[in-house]
Amino acid sequence: MKTFSLKSIYTASILSICLLATVLILNAFTKEKALETNNVIPSIWYFHGNSTDSRLDSTKYSLSPDPNKPCEGQEEEVCTLSAPANGAGYPDMSAIATGTSKVKERINDAFASTPSTNETVTALREKVD
């Protein structure tokens, strides 16, 4: 009878340890995946648009600067933008930039009155046709 009790306790202990280890491993993978999802790394994008193009049009941005549109002169237009990429290789205008504000909202905020930079619009340039 004692042998049966010791075997039962031993088996229950081993099963408990295995179950605990499995739960801890699964929990670690879940936390790692959540961190990957939340840590979207922004890139610096250069606005290649002209004075008639919308600064909210993501296809007007590139990861390389336009030598004909340097970040200098009057501060009238977006020059550089900090935003994560979307799946098509352009800045994601719907990504959260800060708090609950999206990238496109922070661009509009930069031009709401006197053009100014913020954490999304990182540099301004002169409008070029």
Q: What angle do CA 102, 105, 108 make, to 5 degrees?
A: 155
Looking at per-residue confidence, does 77 or 33 come out higher? 77
Q: How confident is the model at residue 7 (pLDDT cuts 50, 70, 90)?
A: confident
Identify any residues that bridge with 96 across adjacent strands, giving them in sequence order: 102
Helix (H, G, I), strand (E, B) or coil at 104: helix
Averaged pLDDT of the chain: 86
Comparing 30-44, 57-71, 115-129, which segment has the lowest mean pLDDT?
A: 30-44
Rounded to whole angstroms, the Cα distance separating 84 from 78 reads 16
pLDDT of residue 2: 56
pLDDT of residue 102: 97
Q: How confident is the model at residue 128 (pLDDT cuts 50, 70, 90)?
A: confident
CA distances from 69 to 10, 43, 49, 129 (A): 74, 19, 9, 10
Report which of 70, 83, 46 is spatially closest to residue 128, judged by C-alpha positions: 70
pLDDT of residue 17: 80
Q: Where are the domains of the chain?
A: 1-39, 43-125
Looking at per-residue confidence, does 80 or 37 come out higher? 80
Q: Residue 3: is its pLDDT beyond 70?
A: no
